[in-house]
Amino acid sequence: MTRKIAVLIFPDFQILDATGPIAAFEIAGRLSPGAYGLELVAEGGGEIASSSGVRMLAGPLDDGAYDTLLVSGGIGTRRFTELAGTIAWLRRRSAQVRRTASICTGAYLLAEAGLLDGKRATTHWGSCEQFARRYPQIRTEPDRIFVRQGDVWTSAGITAGIDLALALIEDDLGAEIARRTAQQLVVHHRRPGGQSQFSALLEMGGVNGRFAELMDWARERLAERLSVERLAGQAAMSPRHFARAFVAETGMTPAKAVERLRLEAARVRVEAGREPIDRIAEAAGFGDPERMRRAFLRAFGQPPQALRRTARA
């Protein structure tokens, strides 16, 4: 059975939001011949310019027998008046397909079409606050790579679209095809949907790299007590000023950032081998396994043991 996938674009779409998933489905289709048929579609069809200026040739919006609608993101997603026809088509066609998914800020188009009302969803971390304000009826989850709610999927920024595509491929064709597709793409297989999209931002020390050295310093001392006062002292700032500046730079509180560093360090060790969970919890600064388990559930949606089993699969 060939699953026909419509990849929806529009003026000023983000080109990797479209081409990343397309490449994943193409490779999966080579590994499982006949599994997928891909079509690029846009209102009016023709050459559609991405935000980079590079153009892609799309067919018009139609009533084809699609299995999946995949909506790209980009700076053009907020031009709701210009995209009224696209949104109306998406609202109507979503009811006629097996599943609908968005990459990055493509979630705005799903939201405008009413497809996310009452559901959990995510989008690019830089847009989550605005997204949550505009759509209070949607439970925005900024700390997720992708979110599945029944037959509607949303994903975080840009490269998370590849993670989403791999999850869709695994849902269709099984873990082995998804794993081999990831190998061809040279990306992680089954990066957990609950993995934080803020991790990369923390690695850089924030938007402008202001706290990069501080994050490196903290990463080397995870087993120690890392209070706001201690972090502020290391940054040569007052605790109050440091806390405000840190949130503005990274989008999270210092306590949340420290927990994120501990989670990432613990996750690597959990997935790497057979080291006892309680030893990992102590080394990462959680103190006890139960506290680490609760943190894993909040961040990754799974306890440490489940992530270890997944890594071994």
pLDDT per residue over 40-80, tens digit each?
Answer: 999 999 999 999 999 999 999 998 899 999 999 999 999 99
CA separation for the pair 39, 30 (Å, rounded) = 16
Shared fold status for 3-185 and 199-312? no
Maximal CA-CA distance, the chain:
63
Answer yes or no: is pLDDT of 306 > 90: no
Q: Domain 3-185 maps to which CATH number in 3.40.190.10, 3.10.105.10, 3.40.50.1110, 3.40.50.880? A: 3.40.50.880
Q: Which two tokens stand for residue 51?
A: 């935000």
Q: Which two tokens stand for residue 283?
A: 């080394």
- For the question of whether the overall pTM of this predicted structure is more than 0.85, the answer is no
Q: Do the strands 99-102 and 152-155 form a parallel or antiparallel pair, or are they unpaired?
A: parallel
Give how far the C-alpha of residue 307 lies from the chain's centroid of Cα atoms, to the nearest Å.
18
- Give me the residues paired with residue 155 across strands: 146
Give how far the C-alpha of residue 234 lies from the chain's centroid of Cα atoms, to the nearest Å.
32
193 pLDDT band, cuts 50/70/90, is: very low
Most confident range (mean pLDDT) of 208-222, 223-237, 250-264 is 223-237
Q: How many CA atoms lie within 13 A of 226 on its CB side?
A: 28
175 pLDDT band, cuts 50/70/90, is: confident
Looking at domain 199-312, its CATH class is mainly alpha
Residue spans per domain, the chain: 3-185, 199-312
